Structure 1
Amino acid sequence: MLQTWGIPKTSVHVVLRDNARNMIKAMNDAELPSLTCTAHTLQLVVHEGLLSQRSAADAVAIGRKIVGHFKHSTLAYSRLEGLQLEISQPAKRLQQDVHTGWNGTFYMIQSLVEQKQALGILASEYGLPDILTAQQWTLLEKVLSLLRPFEELARKASSAYAIAADVIPVVSVLHRFLTKETDEDHGVKGMKGTLAAAVRKRFSDVKENPLYSIATLLDPRYKNHFFSSNTAAANAKEMLTLELLRLPGEVDKQEDLDPTEPPARKPCSDQASSSLDSIFDEIADVKASLDREALDYCTIRDISWRDHNFTARQTITILGG
């Protein structure tokens, strides 16, 4: 197609593809740079997690049977809508999931949990083809909380504002979220561990890919804060240096600009707050604190080595200014 339309390969920055082996081979054979679809990779991660815990899979199967009952019975849905009005709940239909996308299962569980009270009343008065036990309801609520960050990130990865710079921070935040132990882990600990392992495996090469690393490093929101180690951050800087050396001509030197103050990035007005915002801030704050400590230590040593006559007040002024 590139030959047909007269497009040189040098004009192709990157091709976005899914994780299928034939697509990977096609891009390699064509010698085109390519990246995997992050939303598709997240889908593969969640599929591994959902299938890993039998109790969760059984609860989801019962939920699917309950939703199917209302989908195939106009009378049952009429009763559900009437009951929703009686108990002052919004009249909402149950969401049917599809096997091709995990987010359909997420929305199905979400709709079931929202209608838990109404479904309980209907089960006692008219009966249902199957019912969820109290333990299974609790399990579904925990699965919902565990998968909510994946749903949020998948939506953001599919938005018009998604960029390659978001991938490494998302992987770091997901890994922190999945490896942090909480009191809510009981019942989903196995699934949480499987999801963490799947994130590590599916996104194992993102930090070695210059397209991801350089984009993240140059993004003023992220810089080097979300790399898993100092070595990974150093490798990203080396990738950036090599990329600059490949640029034709000399890079314009803008000496009037303060390198410590990158240009402000225009915020995206439609980006809502996320349940992972606190973890993003946590990682960024820890990294920034470590960078300041390293800078202060180096500055103090440099001052002391060059001139022992600096007073404590002068040292603090230099570091603060």
Structure 2
Amino acid sequence: MKKAMDELGVPSLGCVAHSLQLAVHEGLLSQRSILDALANARKIIGHFKHSTLAYSKLQDIQIEMKVPVKRLLQDVQVRWNSTLYMMQSLLGQKRTLSVYAAEHNLPATLTVNQWGLMERAVEILAPFEELTRAVSAETATTADVIPAIAALKRVLSREQATDEGVKTMKRTLLEAVERRFSHVESDPLYSVASLVDPRYKDRYFADPNSLGPAKDALIREVEKMEELKKASSDVPEEQQSSKKPRLSTDTSLGSVFEEILQESEQER
């Protein structure tokens, strides 16, 4: 597909979701304590995955403790969000697993510190999950990328009291995002799309030096369109668009969209 686009002379963009996958992979690998916790988590899940009897006993405990009966989820290496789901499934069954471990042998156990690390890791990775879903939606457009990356970098750059134990991971994630998406504001395919989108315009550009070239690129595109209009009597109808950011402001990442937007309005 990429070769076909190249031969047709059609400009192409890399997969945003895949770049996020690589960034998260770097972050998870950056901290040994997280890797150790994940290794133990996989052993625990493998114990129930390969034993119908073990899972049946865990299910009985879930029913007895009136906890939703759910299976523990195994992650897949090529999908970073599956690791997030795995940690969430374990955290949701923390009490039932403690009861099970008191009565039966497990191939591994999670320490109090490791449970805490997973809780903090889930909190840090939640915005990545939101962004991955947003850019994978059928309604996603190129215009969404610059604002979404701006919001994601702001979330990662904030210091939180809950960062203890995962600071290396969080710092590496921020560095990976900055490196892998450093080109988006200078790429006309992204910048022009954001400028012409009434929800975003020029409000989410982090680098002021990128804004001038972006506007120049937009002017060139408009001039090309004017030339095409003169050569053709068919004028395309304008598409109406919502003026609100695509992500809900109720989410951890979506609320940052509104924050950046308000700051931009105050500077004007």
Same fold (TM over 0.5): yes
Q: Counterpart of 1:44 in 2: which secondary structure?
A: helix
Q: CA deviation digits over 1:46-85, x for unaligned, max 9?
A: 0000001000011001000100000001111001111111
- For residues 157 and 190 of structure 2, the distance between their equivalents in structure 1, rounded to whole angstroms, comes to 23
Partner of 1:160: 138
Give yes or no for contact 1:161–1:268 (8 Å, CA) kept in 2. Answer: no
1:286 to 240, 263, 267: 263
Pick the structure with greater CA Rg.
Answer: 1
Deviation at 1:280, TM superposition (A): 0.9
Q: What TM-score results when the alignment is normalised by the length of structure 1?
A: 0.76
- Which residue pairs with 1:133 in the alignment? 111
**In the alignment, which residue of structure 1 is the partner of 2:128?**
150
Note the C-alpha offset of 1:235: 2.2
Runs (5+) with no aligned partner, structure 2: 231-238
What is residue 33 of structure 2 aligned with on the other side?
A: 55
Aligned partners of 1:185 and 1:277: how far apart in 2?
21
Query: Which digits, 9 at most, give the CA deviation of each residue in 1:124-175, with x for residues without a partner?
Result: 1112111000000000000111111111111111111111010001110111
Tell whether 2:176 aligns with 1:198.
yes
Structure 1 residues 280, 132: closer, same or farther in 2, change over 3 A?
Answer: same
| Cα distance in structure 2, aligned partners of 1:278 and 1:64 | 33
Deviates more, 1:138-147 or 1:95-104: 95-104
How far 1:276 sits from its partner (Å)?
Answer: 1.1
Q: CA RMSD in A?
A: 2.3
Are residue 100 (structure 1) and residue 42 (structure 2) matched? no
**Unaligned 5+ residue runs, structure 1?**
1-16, 18-22, 253-261, 292-321
* Secondary structure, aligned partner of 2:13: strand
**Cα deviation, residue 28, structure 1:** 4.5
| Alpha-carbon distance in 2 for matches of 1:210, 1:114 | 44
Is residue 199–residue 245 contact of structure 2 (8 Å, CA) maintained in 1? no
Give the Å deviation of 1:264. Answer: 5.5
For 1:36, what is the secondary structure of its paired residue?
A: coil
Distance 1:267 1:232, change over 3 A: closer
Q: Percent identity?
A: 48
What amino acid does structure 2 have at the position aligned with 1:57? L
Cα distance change, pair 179–268 in 1 and its aligned pair in 2 (3 A): closer
What is the CA distance between 1:184 and its match in structure 2? 1.0
2:252 aligns to what? 275
What TM-score do you get using the length of structure 2 for normalisation? Answer: 0.90
Which structure has the higher relative contact order (CA within 8 Å, separation 6+)? 2
The answer as to whether partners of 1:56 and 1:140 remain within 8 angstroms in 2 is yes
